[in-house]
Structure 1
Amino acid sequence: MDIKDISPDQVVYFSLGPFDLNATIAYTWGVMALIVLVSIIVTNRMTASENMSRWQNFLEIVVDFLRRQIADISGEKPELYMPYIGTLFVFIAVCNLLSVVPGFLPPTASLSTTAALAITVFMAVIIFGVIKRGPLGYLRQYVKPTPMMLPFNIMGEFSRTLALAVRLFGNIMSGVKIVAILLAIAPLVFPVLMNALGLLTGMIQAYIFAVLAMVYIASATRIERERHEKTQTTQGDSDG
């Protein structure tokens, strides 16, 4: 199999010295531009009346769904996490949905893209953990239940980041390649079914990635929340 069939990173459109403009970068920029353009169009036509556009109605459903998922997972108000988790979900979902467009190479089929997304999750866990628990409170979790667990807890952080990247990359890349193989074997039958299945799988993968990111972030802030709830309960019992 040609290496170009494995990763869009190897499809180079333009080179200038050590810099290459490959399919992953080009289509990532394209997806980002599309998301920004649609967002501008929809937000410029937003209305609070019942005569809202279908796009606004659809996006409100998506936003409400994400807000409820974040609130259920974190047990907190979703406003703090919504911009990041929502951006993750929308970007991955759009990349995966556009994979059915002939000639489009989804950036999420590249390990470099999924690794970059996983790294942002890794950094978000630290940032939200520090915001909620403070620097010392967040770092203290790495030496619990004993200081001997420090290297294992650190390895756990890196391993789940790697797992996020490989899971998304493997699922999207394999789906794209299966469709390409079936298109060559039976161009009139299998592609339609596989594209429909690919759309469903792409949305599921976007949802799973966003949910796992929120789970990791929630785990980094849960101890502080539980301590706060315990304090409130103790105060309530004392008042009673």
Structure 2
Amino acid sequence: MELSPDQTIFWQYGFITINLTLVTTWGIMLFLISSSVVVTRKLKTGLQISRWQCFVEMIVTGINDQIKEVGLNKPQEYIGFIGTLFLFIGVSNVCIIFPGYTPPTASLSTTAALALCVFLAVPFYGISKTGILGYLKSYLQPTWIMLPFNLISEVSRTLALAVRLFGNIMSGGMIVAILLSISPFIFPVIMNALGLLTGTVQAYIFSILATVYIAAAVQNTKNKKKPKILNTN
């Protein structure tokens, strides 16, 4: 039993390897890009719009609302990154209904790359708000003693993002494979249905956690107003 799509290699030359993870990742990216081009090609602003435009607007509105609820008041600045994370992970996991398909999120290399994107996005948005000095000061809050703990927190939560997504998706695929060998008719259908739910939930959790980390970086680096001194005279 193959535990990871990285083990399925189509072509290799030296250190250059084209495996199943790479193929499915690029396939999903091309699918998302082509779908967005087709859907947004004839957008309308009237009352009568196409079903696909209505579906896309529902997704965009839902993502914007979630970003606002986390604490980012201008979701249009973050929806490009957060929305892309959600759609890529969601589509990768939902396609598990197709026979023989292995999601790229079942590979630790993919989940590590996604977590690394979040790791780099947090300081990017933090620095873009108040500058590099303002962002670096957040590591010294509430006191300079917290500097090593804040640095460890940045690394540990990145690892947690990667391992959590990888573990949940890989374990679901392994359970389906085991049940398929035992009872090839009933249990795999049920597990695939549960896999759709689990895959969507994992995409939601990953994107929400990324939003929370970005919101924390942005809010921690905002210049605090000096407290007013009350006149007791």
State the TM-score, normalized to the length of structure 2.
Answer: 0.93
Measure, in 2, the Cα distance between the counterparts of 1:75 and 1:12: 42
Give the equivalent residue in structure 1 for 2:185: 188
Which of 107, 120, 125 is the aligned partner of 1:123?
120
Matched to 1:57, the amino acid is C
Structure 1 unaligned regions, length at least 5: none
Give the equivalent residue in structure 2 for 1:79: 76
Give the equivalent residue in structure 2 for 1:174: 171
Q: State the number of aligned residues.
A: 230
Give the equivalent residue in structure 1 for 2:161: 164
Deviates most, 9-18 or 24-33: 9-18
State yes or no: 1:197 paired with 2:194.
Answer: yes
User: Residue 48 of structure 1: CA displacement?
Assistant: 2.0
Give the equivalent residue in structure 1 for 2:43: 46
State yes or no: 1:88 paired with 2:72.
Answer: no
The Cα RMSD (Å) is 1.8
Q: Pick the structure with more helix per residue.
A: 1
Measure, in 1, the Cα distance between the counterparts of 2:220 and 2:112: 28
Matched to 2:77, the amino acid is L
Structure 2 unaligned regions, length at least 5: none
Measure, in 1, the Cα distance between the counterparts of 2:207 and 2:223: 23
Give the equivalent residue in structure 2 for 1:209: 206
State yes or no: 1:223 paired with 2:196.
Answer: no
Matched to 2:82, the amino acid is I
SS of the aligned residue for 2:152 comes to: helix
TM-superposition CA deviations, 1:181-214 (whole Å, max 9, x none): 1122111111111111100110000000000000
Matched to 2:69, the amino acid is D
User: Residue 121 of structure 1: CA displacement?
Assistant: 0.2
The answer to whether the Cα contact below 8 Å between 2:135 and 2:221 also exists between their aligned partners in 1 is no
TM-superposition CA deviations, 1:71-108 (whole Å, max 9, x none): 11124110111100000000000000112211211110
Deviates most, 186-195 or 79-88: 186-195
State yes or no: 1:23 paired with 2:24.
Answer: no
Paired residues for 1:33-72 under 5 Å: 33-72=30-69
The answer to whether the Cα contact below 8 Å between 2:126 and 2:221 also exists between their aligned partners in 1 is no
Paired residues for 1:135-154 under 5 Å: 135-154=132-151
Matched to 2:213, the amino acid is Y
Which of 90, 102, 127 is the aligned partner of 2:99?
102
Deviates most, 202-211 or 95-104: 95-104
Matched to 1:137, the amino acid is G
Structure 1: 4+ residue segments shifted above 4 A: none
User: Residue 51 of structure 1: CA displacement?
Assistant: 3.0
CA 1:151–1:224: 2 relative to 1, 3 Å: closer
Matched to 1:168, the amino acid is L
Percent same amino acid at aligned positions? 52
State the TM-score, normalized to the length of structure 1.
Answer: 0.91
User: Residue 220 of structure 1: CA displacement?
Assistant: 0.4
User: Residue 45 of structure 1: CA displacement?
Assistant: 2.7
User: Residue 146 of structure 1: CA displacement?
Assistant: 2.1
SS of the aligned residue for 1:79 comes to: helix
SS of the aligned residue for 1:51 comes to: coil
Measure, in 2, the Cα distance between the counterparts of 1:226 and 1:193: 52
Measure, in 2, the Cα distance between the counterparts of 1:184 and 1:57: 41
